[in-house]
Each structure stands twice: as structure tokens, then as C-alpha cells.
């Protein structure tokens, strides 16, 4: 499978899922209202009170997200898989960049784990697209440092974000995307997202899966 080989070689791959655009449009919900149906610990907000992310969605909306997760897993040829998490990532207008990191810095797995990222609008450097270091996953898990920037304002609990300064900014590839595309990356692929310099909220869905068999 050509796309699977590309993902294995570069550590990330963009897929076109344009036929799902109508289906994906149903995920454009009123996030403020939607967040009220979740446990407060599953809703992260900025210090200004804007929604930053809503997580553990597959636990609350099983049928809806299982349909999406099955499609995504099929893109990389996964025959059996386990969903580790589904999230809305909601970057407010004029919000900072997400620092370089590997997802595996958070869960330190030796298994085949992949993250799927689906923007619910066109994205570029102005409204926070992703940037990747090709082939960085081949180096395994690299050094990360903590930065305490996630604040759960509803519970008063401060979380910890991680970042890595192993790579220079010039080593990251710019990956703009259209609505109707999804990018998947290996757990050890180094990536970041640019600031949201637009006037609108930038919303993306994510699915993190562990592939049990190909």
C-alpha cells in the first residue's frame, strides 16, 4: 500500500477524504454548548476562558466517533485497532503557537500509535496549520522539557505541556491543508502548529489510535 509506505518513510502523510466533507461538517457544533455535556475535567480552556480542547469524545459519543475512527484507521491499513483518544482542538483567535513536540512524549509507548488531525476549515500559517520534521520519527523519543501552559480553569488544576528544542525551525516542513483532508503522523514524528493570527477560532478533530494489527 503506497500511502502506508510513505507514512512509514516520512513519519506523516496527508490523505484526501473529500467524500466525507458533508459528514465532517456535522462536527462543526457550537463548542460552548457542546462542552456543557462533558465532565469539566475533559474541557480545557485558556486563561481568557476560550475553549482550547475537549477530549475523550469517543467515550461520550461512541457511535458517531467510531464511524470516523474506523474510516481513519482504514486509511493506513489497520485491521485491528484501539482508540486511545478523540479530541476537539480549538485554537482561539490570536493564540500562540503549539511548541515542537512528539506525541509519544506524553504516553511513552513502544507500540504502533498514530495521530490523525482533521481541520474543520482550510488551514495555513495564518490560522495555525501543522509543521513536521520529515523522518524525525526514526530517531525515536527525543528529549522534552516541561512548560506549564495548560490550565484547567474549571477545576483549578494546572497541567504540563512538553516541548523539544532538538530541531531548528528551518527543519520543519509547512503543511497547509484544505477542509476534506486529514494528516496522520507517527507517535515519534516531531511537529508544531503555528499561531492562530486570524480572527476566527481554528478547530480540528483528532484521533489517536494504537494499531493492534495491519
The CATH code of domain 2-213 reads: 2.60.120.620
For residue 92, what pLDDT is reported?
93
For residue 64, what pLDDT is reported?
85
Report, as ranges of residue numbers, the positions in the chain whose pLDDT lies below 70: 1-4, 148-160
User: Are the beta carbons of 147 and 165 closer than 8 angstroms?
Assistant: no
For residue 147, what pLDDT is reported?
78
Residue 97 region, left (φ>0) first, then alpha (ψ -120 to 50), else beta? beta
DSSP codes joined into one string, 193-213: E--B-SSS-EEEEEEEEEEEE
Alpha helices, DSSP H, located in 131-193: none
Cell 511513552, residue located: 108
Q: What is the layout of strands, in order, in the sheet containing 130-132?
A: 98-101, 191-193, 130-132, 173-175
Instruction: Tell which residue, 135, 116, 126, has the closest CA to residue 176.
Output: 126
- For residue 191, give the C-alpha cell: 511537529
Alpha helices, DSSP H, located in the chain: 2-10, 21-25, 31-35, 57-60, 62-75, 104-107
- Count how many residues are written for the chain: 214
For residue 156, what pLDDT is reported?
41
| Phi and psi torsions of 50, nearest 5° | -70, 145
pTM: 0.93
For residue 46, what pLDDT is reported?
82
> Where do the structural domains in the chain lie, given as residue ranges?
2-213
Residue 57, classified by CB atoms within 10 Å of its CB into exposed (0-12), middle (13-18) or buried (19+), is: buried
User: Residues with Cβ < 8 Å from 15, sequence gap 6 or more?
Assistant: 3, 75, 181, 182, 183, 184
Q: Give the whole-angstrom CA distance, residue 138 versus residue 146.
A: 23
Distances (CA, A) of 81 to 57, 73, 101, 172, 212: 17, 7, 24, 29, 5
Q: From the CB of residue 138, how many other CB atoms can be counted at a distance below 10 Å? A: 13
Q: Give the whole-angstrom CA distance, residue 150 versus residue 125.
A: 22
Amino acid at each position: 500500500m503506497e500511502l502506508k509506505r510513505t507514512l512509514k518513510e516520512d513519519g506523516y502523510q496527508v490523505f484526501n477524504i473529500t467524500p466525507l466533507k458533508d459528514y465532517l461538517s456535522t462536527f462543526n457544533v457550537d463548542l460552548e454548548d457542546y462542552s456543557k455535556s462533558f465532565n469539566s475535567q475533559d474541557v480545557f480552556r485558556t486563561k481568557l476562558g476560550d475553549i482550547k480542547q475537549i477530549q475523550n469524545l469517543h467515550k461520550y459519543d461512541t457511535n458517531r466517533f467510531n464511524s470516523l475512527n474506523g474510516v481513519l484507521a482504514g486509511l493506513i491499513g489497520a485491521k485491528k485497532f484501539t482508540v486511545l483518544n478523540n479530541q476537539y482542538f480549538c485554537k482561539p483567535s490570536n493564540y500562540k503557537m503549539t511548541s515542537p513536540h512528539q506525541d509519544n512524549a506524553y504516553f511513552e509507548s513502544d507500540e504502533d500509535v498514530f495521530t490523525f488531525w482533521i481541520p474543520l476549515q482550510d488551514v495555513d500559517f495564518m490560522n495555525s496549520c501543522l509543521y513536521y520534521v520529515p523522518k524525525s520519527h526514526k530517531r525515536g523519543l527525543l528529549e522534552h522539557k516541561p512548560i506549564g501552559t495548560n490550565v484547567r480553569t474549571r477545576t483549578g488544576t494546572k497541567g504540563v505541556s512538553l516541548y523539544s528544542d532538538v530541531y531548528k525551525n528551518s527543519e520543519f516542513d509547512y503543511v497547509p491543508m484544505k477542509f476534506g483532508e486529514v494528516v496522520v503522523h507517527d507517535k515519534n514524528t516531531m511537529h508544531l502548529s503555528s499561531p492562530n493570527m486570524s480572527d476566527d477560532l481554528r478547530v480540528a478533530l483528532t484521533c489517536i489510535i494504537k494499531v493492534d494489527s495491519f
